[in-house]
Structure 1
C-alpha cells in the first residue's frame, strides 16, 4: 500500500461492518415494492402481458453547488459545465450569500443580467437553468452571519430589521420556486465578532421563527461545519454541541425541518492521514448519523469535498474510492435524504484565482471535473452509482394481470405490451405511499 493509500485504511479495516450497513440499509431504506394490477376497459385482468420497468428519477437528492453557472471565460466551458451538471445531478445549491446578493443596500442582484460577481450567479439565472433541466434548486443561506454585508451591521434592532426585509423580499420572489432553504449556517464560529445579533443567545431560534413566518410552505434547514459534527472534539453522542443546539431550538418551538451537515476534508496533504482518519471511519460515520437521527429530522449532507491533491492517476482513484464508500454509507442510512458535493470543476474554488492550484479551495483538487474539463473517476463513480448500481430496470411477465417488483424510490416509466397493444404509463414508487397501482389498458 503506497503512503497516500494509507488514507483508505479505515475503510479496509472495517469493510465488513461498512458493507453490511450499506447492503442492509439500501434494501431497507432506499427500496420498496410496487404492486401492479393490469385491467382492460371492463376491469378484467389482462393476461399474457409483458411489462418493461424503466426508472427515470430518484427521490433521493444528489447534486453540487451551481456557483460557476455562466462564470467561465468562454462559452464552450460554460456549455460543458451545464451538461456535466445536468447529466449527473437532480439538485443544485444556489448562492444566496447576502454580502454578494445585495452588496449595496436596496439593490439586490436578483435578475439574470445583474452585474457579475465571481462564483455568485444571479438567482434568476440559476432558476432558469434548474427549471429547464429538471433540477431542484436549494437556497444557501438566509442568515449566514459570516457573510453579512457591512451596511446591515449595527444594533441588534437594526440587524433584525434588515433581515426581516431580506426574508420578505426573498419569499415574495422565490418561495414558490425554491422548496428548500438553509436558514442558519456555521453558528459555532466567531462568537462575538461577526455581528451583534449573532452573539444573542436566541440567534438560531429567532432566525427560524422569522423563516417560518415568511416561508411557511418551504423546508427549513440548519447547517454546520464538518469539524463541529464528525470530529473527535465535537462528537459526544447526544451531548454533542450541534445536537444540543438543535434539540434546544426544537424544544423552544423552532421549526427545523432538516439537519444539514458539511463534510469538507480541507486538510493539507501532509496532514491528511492524521486529520481524516476519524472522518473516514465507517463506525464514526454511522454513529453520527444514528445519533442525529434520534432528533427525528432528515439529514442532508450539504457541502462535501474530498481532495485528490493532484491529477496523478493514483490520487484521483483514491478520491473516487473514498467517494464511493461515503456516498454508499450515507445513501444507505434511513435518515439521509440528500448529498450535495461542493465544487464541480477544479481550479475555480473559493479564495483563489482561477487556475491557481496552490491557493484556497483549489489546492485540494477536490472537484469531480479537471481544470481542462475532462471528467475524473470520481464523477464517473457518482454517475455509475445513481444511474446503474442504484437504479431499477426490469422486464416482467404476468399471466394473471397482477405483478410486483422491488425498486429504488423514484419515478418509473412502464412499457406494457398486451393484446397486440403497447402503452406507456408513469408511476411514482414512494417511501410514503402504499404503492398499489391499477393500470387500465
Structure 2
C-alpha cells in the first residue's frame, strides 16, 4: 500500500486546470509596460552586530572562487543580458567594508593580520522539498539557506477547526531547519484552486469566506510564528485555474486585505508575499502586474518562472531568459522586494517537446540554464530571493526538474549552482595599514573576522555585511582581555571535565558493587588529563556513556499515533504491525543521549528498500536504511537535548502500479534506551 503522505507534500501542480493555450512553441514576447529606473527599497534597520559564534567554514581557505564556465552558446539577447548582469552583480550585491583595529584606548593597530570570510548570504537561495536530513545536508553544502513549506488549506485544515499542526511540523522538518539557521516561508495560506480547497469552504458566501480565511490564517500564523516570518497570504490570485469561487477583482483584494490583517496581528514581524503565476499574464483573468498595481499592504512580490519547462500534462509558455530579466525590471517599478519563488526546467527531453538555445533538455542544458537564470535575477537590485522548485526528481513538479535525481543523488545542476553560489562569497587576508585599517568590497551576508596580532594572539568576531552600503566596523583588540577570556574558557572546560570524571568515579563504584570488572575502565580514566582538553573531554564523555546505567522501555506500535489519522484510515498488516503512513509519533519526555532499537521490515520498490529517520523536536538522527523484507532490529543513537516528543518518519514512499511495486515500511516494536548518570 502506498503512503498517504504524498497528497500532503505534492499539492503543487497548477490544479490540473492549465489551459491548452499554454502549448506554445515559439518564443513570442509581448511588449512590457515602460519601466522607470527602480529606486532602492526603504532603509532597513541596522543589522551589523558582533557575536561570539564559531566560524562555519575552515580557516585559511581563501582561494578565489571561480564562476563555472558556459559551454553551450547563448542567444545574442541572452548573452547581452548575461554580460550586463555580471557587471550589475558587482554594483548591487556588494557593499564597501572598512575594518579598523584599535586598542582599548582608541589607538590604531598597524601590522595586524585580518582574515575575513563569508559564511552565509543575506540573499535568500531557496528550495522546496519535504524534509529529509540527507537531502538538506546536501542543500546546505550548496549554500541553500531558505526553505518553502506548502501550507495549502486542504493540508492544513481539511475539516473545520481540525488543524494538522503535527503533520506540518514533521513533514517539513520545521524545528530542525529553524535550529540549523534556515529562513522559512509558509506557502499558499490561501489558494482558490480546486485541488487544494476543502469541500466545506465551497458552501460559504463571500463574507463567510473572508472571515473564515482570517481565522484560518490567524491560527496557522499564531502557531508557527516562532519559526516562520514570511507568509504567502494568497497563491496565484486571478489566475484562470485559481478562482473557483468566481470572486471579482475587488472581492479577491478584500479577502487578501483581511488575510494580511490576520498575519500582522498574529506575527508583527511577519512579511507578506503575493505569489504570482506566469507574470507575463498568460491565462489570467487579470494579469499580475495590473492586479498588483492596485493592491496595498503587502511586502513582497513573488514571481513564478516555469517558462520553457513542462510536465507530462502541460507545456509552459516559451519566453527567453533576457525577456524574463526585463519582466523583473517591470515589476521593480512597483518598488517592492521581489522573490523568484518557483523556478525549474527539465533535465530530460519528453516526447519531442522543445528545449532551449536550440537544444533538447539535458542535464548540461538544465545546469547552464539555471546558472544564467540565477545570474540574471541575482543582478537585479529588487530581487532578494530565488527558489528552485524542487529538490528531487522524485517529487518535482517540472519533469525531471530537481537538483537531485530520483534517488537523491546530485545532478550536474546541483554542482553548478553550488559553484556559482560559492563564487558569490567573499574571502581574503590583509594586514592593517598605519591607520589600523583594511578595506574591501564584499557580497552581503554573514562574515567571520579573525584578527591576529604580531605576537600570535587571535580574536574572532562575526559581523553582518550589507550590500549597497558602506559598512564600517571597529574592533577593539585588548590583548589582556583576550587572554583572560581564553583562560576563562579553559577553566570552564576543566570544570566540565572534572564533573564528568566525578560521575565516572561514582559509576565505577556502583559497578564494583554489582560485581562488574572495572579495572580496564579505571586504567582508561587515569589516562585522561587536562593537558589536551578537547581530546580529554571527548574521551571522558565516551567513557561516561560506556559506564552509564541504562533504562530500557518497550513501546509497541499501538502506543504511537499516526499524524494522518484524522484524514486517512490507518493501514494494518502482519499481526498488528503498523504500516506507517509517513509519520508515527508519541509524547514522551527525553533528555540527553538515547538509543532506539526498532523492529522493522520493508517492501522493496523502485530497486531499493525504504528508509526512515527519527526526530525529537529539533534533534534528528541519521537516515536508517531497511535491508530486508523480514523483521530485523535497527538501532539509532542520537542526542536529543530536552524533548517532549519522538517521531519515526518514513522518507521515501514509492508506488508503481504498472510494475506492481510498492515501497512500504512496517514498524512493530520500539525500545527506548536512556542513559542514567549517578
TM category, shorter: 0.7 to 0.9
**Is structure 2 residue 284 aligned with structure 1 residue 241?**
no
Indicate the SS of the match to 1:178.
coil
Question: 2: CA distance between counterparts of 1:340 and 1:193?
Answer: 25
**Is structure 2 residue 141 aligned with structure 1 residue 87?**
yes
Query: Is the Cα–Cα contact under 8 Å of residues 183 and 208 in structure 1 kept in the other structure?
Result: no
Structure possessing the higher radius of gyration over alpha carbons = 2
Q: Name structure 2 gaps, 5 residues minimum.
A: 1-25, 28-70, 351-358, 478-678
TM-superposed CA distance for 1:204, in Å, is: 2.4
Question: 1: CA distance between counterparts of 2:215 and 2:238?
Answer: 25
Query: Is the Cα–Cα contact under 8 Å of residues 260 and 298 in structure 2 kept in the other structure?
Result: no
Indicate the SS of the match to 1:94.
strand
Partner of 2:272: 220
Query: Is the Cα–Cα contact under 8 Å of residues 363 and 413 in structure 2 kept in the other structure?
Result: yes
Structure 1 residues 270 and 23, CA, compared in 2 at 3 Å: closer, same or farther?
A: same
TM-superposed CA distance for 1:36, in Å, is: 0.9
Question: 2: CA distance between counterparts of 1:293 and 1:299?
Answer: 7
Q: How is 1:343-354 mapped onto 2 (pairs within 5 angstroms)?
A: 343-349=390-396
Partner of 2:466: 430
Question: 2: CA distance between counterparts of 1:151 and 1:332?
Answer: 45
Indicate the SS of the match to 1:211.
helix
Query: Is the Cα–Cα contact under 8 Å of residues 310 and 365 in structure 1 kept in the other structure?
Result: no
TM-superposed CA distance for 1:129, in Å, is: 2.3
Quick one: which of 330, 348, 371 aligns to 1:309?
348
TM-score normalised by structure 2 residue count? 0.54
Structure 1 residues 281 and 187, CA, compared in 2 at 3 Å: closer, same or farther?
A: same
Query: Is the Cα–Cα contact under 8 Å of residues 11 and 281 in structure 1 kept in the other structure?
Result: no
**Is structure 2 residue 161 aligned with structure 1 residue 106?**
yes
Structure 1 residues 432 and 210, CA, compared in 2 at 3 Å: closer, same or farther?
A: farther
**Is structure 2 residue 446 aligned with structure 1 residue 411?**
yes
Partner of 2:310: 267
Query: Is the Cα–Cα contact under 8 Å of residues 78 and 321 in structure 2 kept in the other structure?
Result: no
Report how many aligned residue pairs link the two structures: 390
Structure 1 residues 156 and 344, CA, compared in 2 at 3 Å: closer, same or farther?
A: same
Question: 1: CA distance between counterparts of 2:369 and 2:313?
Answer: 18
Q: How is 1:31-70 mapped onto 2 (pairs within 5 angstroms)?
A: 31-66=94-129, 68-69=130-131
TM-superposed CA distance for 1:206, in Å, is: 3.2
Which of 324-333 and 308-317 deviates more? 308-317
Which of 307-316 and 256-265 deviates more? 307-316
TM-superposed CA distance for 1:43, in Å, is: 1.2
Greater helix proportion: 1
Question: 2: CA distance between counterparts of 1:296 and 1:209?
Answer: 22
Question: 2: CA distance between counterparts of 1:427 and 1:418?
Answer: 20
Partner of 2:370: 323
Which of 258-267 and 206-215 deviates more? 206-215
Structure 1 residues 12 and 270, CA, compared in 2 at 3 Å: closer, same or farther?
A: farther
Q: Name structure 1 gaps, 5 residues minimum.
A: 1-5, 70-77, 115-120, 235-239, 351-360
Partner of 1:392: 426
Greater relative contact order structure (CA < 8 Å, 6+ sep): 1
Quick one: which of 410, 415, 425 aligns to 1:375?
410
TM-superposed CA distance for 1:201, in Å, is: 2.5
Query: Is the Cα–Cα contact under 8 Å of residues 94 and 126 in structure 1 kept in the other structure?
Result: no
Question: 2: CA distance between counterparts of 1:411 and 1:348?
Answer: 32
Question: 2: CA distance between counterparts of 1:193 and 1:417?
Answer: 62
Q: Residues 115-134 of structure 1, C-alpha deviation per residue, up to 9 Å, x if partnerless?
A: xxxxxx44785321211221
Partner of 2:212: 162
Question: 1: CA distance between counterparts of 2:370 and 2:432?
Answer: 40
TM-superposed CA distance for 1:38, in Å, is: 0.5
Query: Is the Cα–Cα contact under 8 Å of residues 304 and 342 in structure 2 kept in the other structure?
Result: yes
Q: Residues 220-257 of structure 1, C-alpha deviation per residue, up to 9 Å, x if partnerless?
A: 1111112xx136788xxxxx8211211111xxxx2121
Question: 2: CA distance between counterparts of 1:189 and 1:15?
Answer: 28
Structure 1 residues 395 and 439, CA, compared in 2 at 3 Å: closer, same or farther?
A: same
Query: Is the Cα–Cα contact under 8 Å of residues 349 and 362 in structure 2 kept in the other structure?
Result: yes
TM-superposed CA distance for 1:337, in Å, is: 0.6
Indicate the SS of the match to 1:20.
helix
Indicate the SS of the match to 1:375.
coil
Query: Is the Cα–Cα contact under 8 Å of residues 447 and 464 in structure 2 kept in the other structure?
Result: yes
Query: Is the Cα–Cα contact under 8 Å of residues 55 and 391 in structure 1 kept in the other structure?
Result: yes
Partner of 1:131: 178
TM-superposed CA distance for 1:304, in Å, is: 1.2
Question: 2: CA distance between counterparts of 1:97 and 1:409?
Answer: 33
Question: 2: CA distance between counterparts of 1:163 and 1:375?
Answer: 40
Partner of 1:117: none
TM-superposed CA distance for 1:208, in Å, is: 2.9
